[in-house]
Structure 1
């Protein structure tokens, strides 16, 4: 069983690497191992709830990445099975409830089952006090409430998510390995509130947070391209809101750098081309030059063959 634990730790590292690089081989290997681990743990085995939770988490990430929302039934059932095996006083019951709530909320967002939304809300109400006491769960609960706001538009959820993410960021001071993730999560939620309310302070703060996150991702960092895009998107919003040409110039420069990190043959090149193309389109409205945007959109469309999930967006731009 010690060997099983060691292999499980290795697959957790693969899952962590997948969340950073989005390499499908990592998630597939994690799922294969976690399936074998659950097979080795019969119903009365003390490791079975953990094995089910690991498998459910990996399958949930796979569904999200592949857009296979109909398959969300599988991880939801696994999360529920893991929860059923964890009694009320189990130390991991809360995190299992929270994972199940996130999965139910995701299915509600895609398929509109009100029973999923109600069940997720009930689970969140049960874990709220525990999450405040257990700081390690604050970030997860903040993401959950943000997702629920996206689905239902309740501003109270968004305000509470931001408050939780601020607490979570305070637990990740300068030098902490997870600070950049906390910065980006809080920036995303402040940006959502800016779109909802139009409060300049929220957008300014989101830009400052993304700048700090980018500074933590030097040229060789695997997350640099996503940080470049995050900051560029917020600066574009700033330009649209205030009309400052310097914001648009900075956004274009950031998207150019992100595109340079995705050379010909890279899986994310078409996305980077489209991101950059929208900026010259905005500049065309501002200055009157649209030739570069057309060229970039044309290259992006050429990379999205018939049947590609993003082809409609390339055709529409």
Structure 2
């Protein structure tokens, strides 16, 4: 029985698999069972920022595996601390929480927003049309696309979906009950749609007026993918909370939530946690990823960005 037939027999059929049997990856290429090479433009759905077999990432992983693969979050862990320090130094945020994935980072951000809002009698969250935040129930509650939501109702209450890039509509929907606004500054799954300057300006004007959190989903657009560490940096603004993942762990499951001084003390002992969040091997890989991207790759990202912009 071929591997494709076995897969259909034993897995829930949630993925439309490509008919290629990949045996290994090498640099920017995937190599199938017949030795044929493919230029990988999927990049693990935005995960493999450094391609396959990066020596710095492999070295970091192997060295940490020799020490310990997993350690309870009841212990302080050097790889976690090192990666958190890197993220804080690069971004200026105050606190970090590590997760296993982007979806878990969004769930954490929802909990953080709700808990923060509770102090002020705020419990509504604004999210936007055509967005994608993940497959979990909280993430689906932020989204409006029937393709992902149908059959999973009911969703979390108190979440209002507003048309993306509609500054007038957002002004009508935000009020004193608004605890947070969740958005992608560049929509990924929604078609690579950047937020307009006027839309972002209006959101941050309303934040000053109504005191809510702006939560940036940078899961696909973060880590210099747009030439800057975060996509929101192109707009000259700074959200209160940021969700990260995708390339952060160098191919290993890793996400993060960053928060500013407004939310620094919201989570207290026992109010949130994750068994595998911040896995030491993944965090070691994450440190290597950031250092490697800083070592000349950023300039290449910027030049490639200019190249494609001129040809669109």
TM-score, scaled relative to structure 1: 0.27
Q: Of the two, which has the highest radius of gyration?
A: 1
- Higher RCO (CA < 8 A, seq sep 6+): 2
Choose between structure 1 and 2: higher helix proportion: 1
TM-score, scaled relative to structure 2: 0.27
